[in-house]
Amino acid sequence: MLHTFVALVEDKPGVLTRVASLFRRLNVNIVSLTVGRSERPGVSRMTIVAHSSTSAGHRIMASLYKLENVLEVDDMDQVANVSRELALIKVGATPQTRSHIFELVEVFRARIVDLAPESLMIEITGVESKIEGLIQVLIESGDPILEVSRTGRMVMRRGHHTSRVLEAMRIAAEPEGETKNTAVFDLVEEESNFQK
């Protein structure tokens, strides 16, 4: 079973190595790992997709929390979320096959981002099954796939504001040196806490 974890970590050297070593020690295979900057300065967001049982998911979360430089961990399989991947697919194409590929790209709501005499590059964003579907159709149509580059899964909670997000909203709404009326944010925060 695939499990998706989101970890907020300090942006320091060696953090990625510690996280990967943890999964190796637990004998859990990482399927995809996406790391990038978050909304907070000095904090990176890791999205880790791994093969594990439901019981192992709790163990992985507890072990991640014990790591140095790990600030927060969330098991995204337990909440409603939005999940996306990005893929760049380079396909061999001749002037005769290009129109067929353009039609496929339109059906999958992808787009052409590069056009060369013997190839073209497709950019597609969506759930994993959508990307796999386009790749499968391209293979079946006989168009040679020359290269594939994928980001791995990126996940975010759907419509749920944690206290961390509410604090970021409050800071963004306050100009430097001024304190604005935060009654609206306090009300939203109360509602968020009530839902928990």
For the chain, the structural domain boundaries read 2-78, 86-154, 161-195
Structure confidence by residue, pLDDT tens digits, 26-48: 888 899 999 999 888 999 999 99
Give me the pLDDT at residue 182, please: 44
Spans of the chain below 70 pLDDT = 54, 160-196
Residue 82's pLDDT is what? Answer: 85
The 3-class secondary structure across the chain, one letter per residue, is CEEEEEEEEECCCCHHHHHHHHHHHCCCCEEEEEEEECCCCCEEEEEEEEECCHHHHHHHHHHHHHCCCEEEEEEHHHCCEEEEEEEEEEEECCCCCHHHHHHHHHHCCCEEEEECCCEEEEEEEECHHHHHHHHHHHHHCCCCEEEEEECCCEEEECCCCCHHHHHHHHHHHCCCCCCCCCHHHHHHHHHHHHHC
* Domain 2-78 shares a fold with domain 86-154: yes
Q: What CATH superfamily classification does 2-78 receive?
A: ACT domain (3.30.70.260)
In this predicted structure, what is the pLDDT of residue 164?
61
- Write down the CATH number for the domain with range 86-154: 3.30.70.1150
At 155-168, the pLDDT tens digits run 888 876 665 665 66
